[in-house]
Structure 1
Amino acid sequence: MSMSRASRSRERLVVVGGDAAGMSAASQARRLKGPDELEIVAFERGHFTSYSACGIPYWVGGDVTDRDQLIARSPEEHRGRGMDLRMRTEVTELDVEGGRVRSRDLESGAEEWTSYDKLVLATGAHPMRPQLPGIDAPGVHGVQTLDDGQALLDTLARTAGRRAVVIGAGYIGVEMAEALINRGYEVTVVNRGQEPMSTLDPDMGRLVHEAMEGLGITMVNDAEVTKILTGGDGRVRAVATEDVEYPADLVVLGIGVRPETALAEAAGLPLGDHRGLLTDLAMRVRGHENIWAGGDCVEVLDLVSGRERHIALGTHANKHGQVIGANVGGGYATFPGVVGTAVSKVCDLEIARTGLREKDARRAGLRFEKVTIESTSRAGYYPGADPMTVKMLAERRTGRLLGVQIVGREGAAKRVDIAAVALTACMTVEQMTALDLGYAPPFSPVWDPILVAARKAVVAVRAGSAP
């Protein structure tokens, strides 16, 4: 058993989880307090630290050729900064009352308790694995960690067949479908939704559907997987819905992720409706003075709807870590919330969204107007001008911007950042029409597509608010 809190001359910070949020918190705390003031012990059950999980589909697809390109800081680099980083070590129990954690070395099986003065939970999320027959068969892969990505690549290397089925069509599902196409696989995506990318409204998701089919991906929508079929060798051989079987030498789960909060729940820490940990603005777990949490295991405040959401993104995780590290290290910082901005791509089709979808706005009790416009990424006469579709939601009567979705070619996705800033500032669509955005023919039309949508939304709001 490790030394008790009372017998130590310096504070001990224990971090559970060695990726973005956990090691960002540890690094920021170390900048503020040296090893003589703060001891840092971090536990990571995998083989890697501080890596880009968002880059895994591009590594699998071959756009990123070396796994180490995705690693921002190795275990050795963290240890060189005075951290006791214990790899391949899983925390199995939290004793909140006693201020300690139980860990198990995954190589030797040895267990021990480690006491803490301050605790950071950065346990991440895990891929959803529906309780279906055959779901745990060899050849079925979730993709969330670098270890998951390596396991998938190992399977690709030893699988003779070239048929892949992706279950689910969210960000991971769509990106993995493209990665497998790039690897020369015949890919079928089985999606329970009306269209791919449920983070978009179905009318915008339809544009993604068309682009995926243009890549040679077979899209199967409104379909529920009922079981994974296996062959005589126990490996996956097909994915079955109620009436169809889709042959598969490989299956990738792209259904989404859930917060990894089993430890926290067992310890009695507060969870939200999405099973994520609940924190205050300083990322401190509610009701617990010396416990913080960040990254994919927490829920965050949606600044547009005013509700808690679970959004698994590396951008948020790194910000959470910076906030936690500042507070643990004796400084002060807060994380006010998010507006739900995300971008992705299918081949050269760029996909972006921020704020609320139609169903989100209705769920929040908001009445709204919606508009959709077609524009181009550059002045129409300039070479390379590509079409772009922008959908905008604005609150009825007030005209407050509620959400934006964009689907287009080069130059489309990052335009969503304009809308993200407008949402954060609680701007109305009328105020947006006066934004002084950069213009030159190689970059945009005279009226940027975002401003064209805002102008149309102003007209819709005025018409909808008329007696």
Structure 2
Amino acid sequence: MSDSRERLVVVGGDAAGMSAASQARRLKGPDELEIVAFERGHFTSYSACGIPYWVGGQVSERDELIARTPQEHRERAIDLRTRTEVVAIDPERRRVRSRVLDGPGRGTEEWTGYDKLVIATGARPVRPPLPGIDAPGVHGVQTLDDGQALLDTLEGTPGRRAVVVGGGYIGVEMAEAMINRGYEVTVVNRGKEPMSTLDPDMGRLVHDAMSWLGITMVNDTEVTEIRTGDDGQVRAVVTADGEYPADVVILGLGVRPETGLARAAGLPLGAYGGLLTDLGMRVRGHDDIWAGGDCVEVLDLVSGQERHVALGTHANKHGQIIGTNVGGGYATFPGVVGTAVSKVCDLEIARTGLREKDARAVGLRFVTATIESTSRAGYYPGAQLMTVKMLAEHRTGRLLGVQIVGRESAAKRVDIAAVALTAGMTVEQMTALDLGYAPPFSPVWDPVLVAARKAVRAVREAGW
């Protein structure tokens, strides 16, 4: 190093990376710790989860999604270099190689040494090698730059037909965005039902609701080609079963950990391609390297297996933990239970814990209970139907997972189950939970507790 200070290098300028840098700066001043951060995009510390709502018009300005600008980070004594991509990591010599992407120094490369390194490279959208996949009018929506490119296309395209490829979280949220913009929307999905994060019986409820909203659902089929016109612009999405006209195509096929740099550097990766870390988010086998956010795998507290979960909530927690440890404190990330919520128009979708196939995959025997209830007392105006499905372990009755599909006030009820899962509660213990009640907010028996009561009966009938 050029002076007696330690140098922290951060690769990736969004949630995990800049949370780590900011927390480390809170604990150590510039006279103790130099911080250099590299970000290949134009923006830092933004909500990627908000992009569908920006595209759909619920969020009016792009900058509303930005929590802290590059200049604000620099004012906190962080040497943040945007439009600069790290192209190599050299753990043996403790250095990274970066390349300038824009400006007078475009193409320039240099090595930067580090005492401590944070890898927060995020995830990349799945983009299958199909004919026409890179044609104008085909968009992923992972970054703010992606969102801006999609909006530019929408403003410059007279047609009003959108095809969304993929029926997961990104797919249903982008379907809603395009409906809100007045487009005719088709969702092409390889699964038997949309939302493969749910069991198929719960996914069917999402399918029915999306169809009722005017979205054409095409399930259980593979896209084989993105067809273009003579001008090179996208014109249709082709599957084995048919062809669907399109003026714009949005890819919602999920993401994979962006760990090409880590793989090339010989760092340990898991079954999903994500970096493996210890409880303090330190890369296993490397005392001076940490990793967090969408590029890592985390422990599933229910199944006991490592898994890849790309959520901003976890990324920000990882960053806080890394920054605390880099700054001389102590913090750990114990794991996740797999909680996620989403919506398509007024339909709310939630899950936590294991699906049926997840439980089978780790050798768990289980029972299920599915109930229909309402969000408020049935006689109170505005009560909405919701369906709750619960999985409990055979014999022990331990809660394994919950899925909820409904309308107003449905999704956030999953937080009850998330806490119960984290605490290792049984479904019988859940029935005694002291939840808030008043007719405007809940029936006397909350829907989650109704499902727990039915799950208790299923466990007993299975031979508790």
Which category of TM-score, normalised to the shorter sequence, fits these structures?
over 0.9
Instruction: Give the corresponding residue for 1:214.
Output: 212
CA distance in 2, matches of 1:39, 1:61: 40
Q: Tell me the SS of whatever aligns to 1:157.
A: helix
Residue 41, structure 1, aligned to residue 39, structure 2: no
1:109 Cα shift? 1.2
One-letter identity of the residue aligned with 2:247: D
Instruction: Give the corresponding residue for 2:89.
Output: 94
Instruction: Give the corresponding residue for 2:9.
Output: 14
**Uncovered stretches (5+) of structure 1, i.e. residues with no partner:** none
Contact conserved, 2:221 with 2:241, CA < 8 A, in 1?
A: no
Instruction: Give the corresponding residue for 2:51.
Output: 56
- Correspondent of 2:175 among 174, 177, 187: 177
- Correspondent of 1:311 among 306, 309, 312: 309
One-letter identity of the residue aligned with 1:83: I
Map residues 44-443 of structure 1 onto 2, 5 A cutoff.
44-107=39-102, 108-443=106-441
Residue 28, structure 1, aligned to residue 26, structure 2: no
1:160 Cα shift? 1.3
CA distance in 2, matches of 1:228, 1:173: 17
One-letter identity of the residue aligned with 1:176: M
1:110 Cα shift? 1.0
1:243 Cα shift? 3.1
CA distance in 2, matches of 1:465, 1:443: 36
1:311-347 deviations in Å (ceiling 9; x for gaps): 1000000000000000000000000000000001111
1:414-453 deviations in Å (ceiling 9; x for gaps): 0000000000000000000000001111110000001100
1:8 Cα shift? 2.4
234-243 vs 363-372, greater mean Cα deviation: 234-243
CA distance in 2, matches of 1:410, 1:372: 19
CA RMSD of aligned residues (A): 0.7
1:374-405 deviations in Å (ceiling 9; x for gaps): 10000111111111100000000000000000
CA distance in 2, matches of 1:344, 1:414: 10
Runs of 4+ in 1 over 6 A off after TM superposition: none
CA distance in 2, matches of 1:334, 1:465: 39
- TM-score normalised according to structure 1 size: 0.98
Q: Tell me the SS of whatever aligns to 1:295.
A: coil
1:86 Cα shift? 0.2
Identity %: 84
Residue 444, structure 1, aligned to residue 439, structure 2: no
1:160-184 deviations in Å (ceiling 9; x for gaps): 1111110000000000011011111
Q: Tell me the SS of whatever aligns to 1:331.
A: coil
**Uncovered stretches (5+) of structure 2, i.e. residues with no partner:** none
1:274-317 deviations in Å (ceiling 9; x for gaps): 00000000000000000000000000100000001101000000
One-letter identity of the residue aligned with 1:37: E
One-letter identity of the residue aligned with 1:363: A
Q: Tell me the SS of whatever aligns to 2:462.
A: helix
CA distance in 2, matches of 1:140, 1:35: 44
Q: Tell me the SS of whatever aligns to 1:465.
A: coil
1:131 Cα shift? 1.2
CA distance in 2, matches of 1:309, 1:393: 20
